[in-house]
């Protein structure tokens, strides 16, 4: 970790925080306690930033790179729950958990730089600036609602429907040329599909001209069919 007291590092961290709607109008006096003096953390690809069960004394603000949150399943497979990129907060929900521990592992997917933000200072900031507490509550509620919908979708949809919805969501983020942010074994676990079933789906869809590609690079060739297949995942609110 490097020192965040340097003017350049501190300015970068404050600007990143202000770009987040949660902290946009936070009084200047609350930023210094949030930013740990030695809180600029650099991590190489594959390096863990914190482990499941560790004491949750800080959360992270990604400056550059990508952080993946994952757990191991009962049979030892990795399940990646979410990816966080530049300007996003990682582990903020853990700051309010009664057990005070991280519920997942955080790992750098590539060379990554992040700022460590204090749990204690966040609690004090919420007490001193109630609008921040309300925004955090709204953000956490929105994520909870999204996860409830995901669980419902996982338990009521077919493997093909889940894969179609995932690829269409990825296309909305990346455009026509898709690059899977996780490998196919991790994707299978994420979607609740056996790895062999996922491989078979990709193979069948290629033969039918629905998709084109290999490994982690793909292109969607029949959007109409995939959209119809994934329609059950669409909610009105």
Identify the pLDDT of residue 131: 93
pLDDT at 27 over 90: no
Contact 96, 126 (CB under 8 A): no
138 occurs within a structural domain: no
Task: Indicate the range of 14-23, 41-50, 214-223 predicted with least confidence.
Answer: 14-23
Range of the domain at 106: 7-131
Residues 73, 29 share a domain: yes
pLDDT band of 154, cuts 50, 70, 90: confident
Quote the DSSP letter at residue 52.
Answer: T
Tokens of 174: 């990346």
The answer to the question of residue 136 being in a domain is no
Please indicate, yes or no, whether residues 96 and 196 belong to a single structural domain of this protein. no
Boundary-marking domain end, from 95, 113, 131? 131
Within a domain: residue 146?
Answer: no
**Inside any domain, residue 122:** yes
Check whether 3 has a pLDDT greater than 90.
Answer: no
125 in the same domain as 190: no
Give a yes or no: residue 117 inside a domain. Answer: yes
Same domain, 174 and 110: no
Quick one: 20 and 127 in the same domain? Answer: yes
The pLDDT of residue 51: 97
Model confidence at 7: pLDDT above 60: no
Whole-model pTM: value is 0.86
Residue 1 maps to a domain: no
Q: In the chain, how many domains are there?
A: 2
On whether residue 145 sits in a domain, the answer given is no
User: Cβ(59)–Cβ(94) under 8 Å?
Assistant: yes
169 and 229, same domain (yes or no): yes
Residues 114, 27 within the same domain? yes
List the CATH number of the domain containing 226: 1.10.10.10
Question: Is there a single domain that holds both residue 97 and residue 186?
Answer: no
Q: How far is CA 131 from CA 6, 34, 90, 137, 175, in A?
A: 29, 16, 20, 10, 36
Percentage, residues of the chain above pLDDT 90: 79
- At which of 131, 147, 180 does a domain end? 131
CATH assignment at residue 19: 2.60.120.10
Say yes or no: 19 and 123 in one domain: yes
How much is the pLDDT for 37? 65
What value does the mean pLDDT of the chain take?
A: 92
User: Residues 114-146: pLDDT tens digits?
Assistant: 999 999 999 999 999 999 999 999 999 999 999
How many other C-beta atoms lie within 10 A of the C-beta of residue 56?
19
**What's the rounded mean pLDDT across residues 102-117?**
96
48 shares its domain with 117: yes
Quote the CA–CA distance of 174 and 224 in Å, as a whole number: 18
* Residue 227: CB atoms within 10 Å: 14
pLDDT at 6 over 80: no
Claim to verify: residue 125 and residue 161 sit in the same structural domain = no
User: Does residue 28 register a pLDDT over 90?
Assistant: no
Mean pLDDT score, 20-47: 87
Beta strands in 55-104 (DSSP E): 58-64, 67-72, 78-84, 89-90
Proportion of the chain above pLDDT 70, given as a percent: 95
Residue 194 lies in a domain: yes
Q: Give the model confidence (pLDDT) of 169-181 as tens digits.
A: 999 999 999 999 9
Question: Residues 75, 21: one domain?
Answer: yes
pLDDT tens for each residue of 182-225: 999 999 999 999 999 999 999 999 999 999 999 999 999 999 99
């Amino acid at each position: 970790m490097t020192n965040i007291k340097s003017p350049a590092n501190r300015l970068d961290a404050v600007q990143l925080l202000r770009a987040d709607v949660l902290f946009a109008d936070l009084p200047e006096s609350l930023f210094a306690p949030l930013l740990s003096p030695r809180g600029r953390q650099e991590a190489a690809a594959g390096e863990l930033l914190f482990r499941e069960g560790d004491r949750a004394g800080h959360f992270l603000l990604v400056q550059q790179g990508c952080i993946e949150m994952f757990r191991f399943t009962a049979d030892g497979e990795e399940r990646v729950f979410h990816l966080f990129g530049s300007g996003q907060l990682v582990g903020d929900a853990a700051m309010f958990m009664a057990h005070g521990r991280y519920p997942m592992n955080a790992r750098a997917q590539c060379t990554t730089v992040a700022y460590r933000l204090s749990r204690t200072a966040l609690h004090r900031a919420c007490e001193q600036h109630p609008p921040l507490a309300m925004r955090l509550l709204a953000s956490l509620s929105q994520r909870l609602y999204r996860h409830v919908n995901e669980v419902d979708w996982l338990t009521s949809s077919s493997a093909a429907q889940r894969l179609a919805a995932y690829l269409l969501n990825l296309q909305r983020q990346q455009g026509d040329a898709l690059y899977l942010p996780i490998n196919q074994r991790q994707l299978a676990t994420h979607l609740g599909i056996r790895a062999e079933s996922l491989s078979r789906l990709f193979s069948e869809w290629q033969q039918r001209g629905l998709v084109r590609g290999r490994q982690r690079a793909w292109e969607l060739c029949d959007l109409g069919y995939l959209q119809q297949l994934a329609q059950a995942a669409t909610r009105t609110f």
